Structure 1
Amino acid sequence: MEISIRARIRAGDAVAFGQLFEEHARVVHRHAARMTGDRTVAEDVVSLTFLEAWRLRAGVAPEGESLRPWLLGIATNVIRNTRRAARRHQKALAKLPPHEVVPDFAAELTGRIADAEQLMAAKAALERLRPAEREVFALYVWEGLDHAAVAEALGKPVGTVRSRLSRARARLRELTDQELARERAERSTQRRSGSGQLTGDRALAVRSTKETIR
């Protein structure tokens, strides 16, 4: 009888663990990139996730289907820790003397495209969700896990997953609309301000021309 990959991983089989990495590293990276918005950080999350998975290999359930929920659960914990570390880092940086900020016009230009505008608003809204709701949304919607698999990944009852997902979806729609309204109001204000300046310049030019003719 062939020994299952779960049994081999539980026993510390390096070849089986390598196979696990080959099959799921991209999935973990995609999940981390979506949750953090940073591919470099996502690469670190992948490394830490599989290091932690090796440490916790004895806890793999003897029976079951895909190990993807187990790995994504570990990755979610790693992301939480990464976020906490990033917040501590930001607090430390905030204590340093301020430096000159160079304006970034990329977001403004991208925002003129409707699809990009929607995407930016949704991303900002996602960051405003409660962490528990954001995690459930990411695993269910982005990673395609069913309710039971999400519950397995997070170590929560299925009922809790369902309620968090429902709240996340409703809250995300509300927050996305708020973000879109805010961004459009800001751009409208910028356009009016720019238009006023342009109008003033033109008026000055016209007056100067008339005076020269006289």
Structure 2
Amino acid sequence: MTTSALAGPAGQLHPPAEETHESGQFAEGLLHGDEQSFAAIYRHWAPLVHTLAARTLGDAREAEDVTQQVFLAAWRGRSGFRPERGPLGAWLVGITRRKTVDALAARTRRTELAAAAAHVPAQTAEPKPGVSPEECLDRVLLADELAKLPLPQREVLCLAFYEDLTQVQIAERTGIPLGTVKSHVRRGLHRLRRRITETYGPTGSGAAL
């Protein structure tokens, strides 16, 4: 199914007419927990869900995350689907709208956290009682290198380093999918190791990263 086939008047999205009968069959299978029916629902409706999410979010990767969340919610909440209240497509669109709103709210939280994280370097530069000059220097250098990372990576690493949060806790705090958090941590640490090694040498600050 192409996305263009879903475009209706005034930019609204609707299922192609030939899918109406099939959707009824898919809906019945969904209500009975049939995985083959659910797979067919995903194939038919994922382009629509992704298009709706991408139009609102303006980010294809975020739209992919939302699409996965929509169909996960549909499967888990299939007992709440009522065919007599409306077609399957309308139900999925409703879930999409809610998940997109959640994604926008999570984006706002990430922006706020990033703004807070921007103050971390200045805080870590202040000497503290009982901290050796070497440790203080390490913290300052680490904060400086963190500030140079892409925003998503800097955000999750700051939460891990300075608030001692686990990856699961970071996902819960920010609303970022756990798989994305793990990816940001992995890439961020790789960048930090490379930058610190290039700048300070293999025995410099951050060798334990």
Q: Scaled by the length of structure 1, what TM-score is found?
A: 0.43
Higher relative contact order (CA 8 A, sep 6+): 1
* Higher Cα radius of gyration: 1
Q: Scaled by the length of structure 2, what TM-score is found?
A: 0.43
